[in-house]
Amino acid sequence: MKISCLQDNLAKGLSTVSRAVSPRSTLPVLGNVLLAVDNGRLKLSATNLEIVITCWIGATVTEAGATTVPARTFSELVNTFPPDRVDLSLNKTTETLHVSCGRTQANVKGINANEFPVIPEPDHENRIRMEPAVLKRVIAQVAFAAATDDSRPSLTGVLTTFEGNRITMAATDGFRLSVRSAHIAGYVEKPFNVIIPARALSEVGRIITDDLEAVYISMPSGRNQIIFDMDNVLLVSQLIDGKFPDYAPIIPKKYTTRTVLNTAEFSKACRTADIFARESSNTARVAVEPGDGLSAASATIAANSKETGDNVAQVDANVEGMPVEIAFNVKFMSDALGVIDTPQVALETTSANEPGVLKPVGDNDFVHIIMPMNFNR
């Protein structure tokens, strides 16, 4: 293998794929990144056996070939180079990659590319097209609610349903639930659903750029995998086996109080409360007053800690229904408000012991459920 490419392109490509490197694997090759000539371009690929990230960058190819080199070593080396041409040549006998850029030269010991896991190809016939900005938004509004504890593997994933011209993603960690629907190009005649690891979806969201024209989603037959094809980047993820909880009954169908607030003001009040709530299981009280002829309707967000102090913040609101006081995990509330991009948000509540429902005003495709907490008066 003998190729040349630009340092900037190589550094960006390595940064993209290195997120899939397995740092503590018993298989040494999983700590490496694959470098291979592919149709006149340089292919970079890394995997931890759960996800594979592959990207292609422009290169001048003198001689075809492939190898794998330690991802961290190679990435750190390339990042020290000036923005100039990088020349790569492989000594196949010793499996050593000679690297030169400007006045710097290095030799990096590698592992034979044949030991690297086989990367599945996307299905160009049976695939679903999505607008990148739409998919990025759906992922951002759902994936954060998935569990990070592996004790219930299905909850570390996002239930993704394709039906007709809609995609619906849902995630829950048992304390909150986020559900988002969006339009897809084309039509899925036979509805189906899969559980995609939240981490894999977060990586897809990170990879999507503003100039990307489309994301194509496909599933290789019989492999229990899903592939996201993003022009010059391909992400393959294992799907999660298991049963995702039936979340529809969790979503309240009615409310006794509906409070409409300015999203930014409510979010700021929750972030402030979180400073003091950290010492008390992130618990903060939200008290809603409908108002009367003498005072305007408002919501009061309060938190206190025996160790650090307390705070109270009042936010103007439009309130429909009865007064209510309910305790929430204010960090969870802040997380949800952070992904709502409408100017106003509605908080629908029934009682202090029932879940609260967050809905962006004017957007019926997103709903977030947050369980109440106990608090001492």
Within 13 A of 134's CA, how many CA atoms are on the CB side?
18
Q: Which of 248, 282, 311 is the last residue of a domain?
A: 248
Residue 120 lies in a domain: no
pLDDT at 220: 84
SS3 172: strand
Same domain, 145 and 98: no
Same domain, 20 and 88: yes
pLDDT at 376: 56
* Pairing label, strands 257-262, 215-218: unpaired
User: Residues 291-335: pLDDT tens digits?
Assistant: 887 789 999 999 998 889 999 999 999 999 999 999 999 999 999
Same domain, 278 and 350: yes
Contact 338, 137 (CB under 8 A): no
Residue 332 lies in a domain: yes
For 326: left if phi > 0, alpha if psi spans -120 to 50, otherwise beta; the answer is beta
pLDDT at 377: 44
User: Looking at residue 168, which CATH number applies to its domain?
Assistant: 3.10.150.10
Q: What is the pTM of this model?
A: 0.93
Q: Which residue has the tokens 């229990």?
A: 224
pLDDT at 155: 97
pLDDT at 80: 97
Domain housing 179? 129-248
Residue numbers of the chain with a pLDDT score lower than 50: 377
Q: Which of 228, 248, 268 is the last residue of a domain?
A: 248
Same domain, 284 and 224: no
Residue 144 lies in a domain: yes
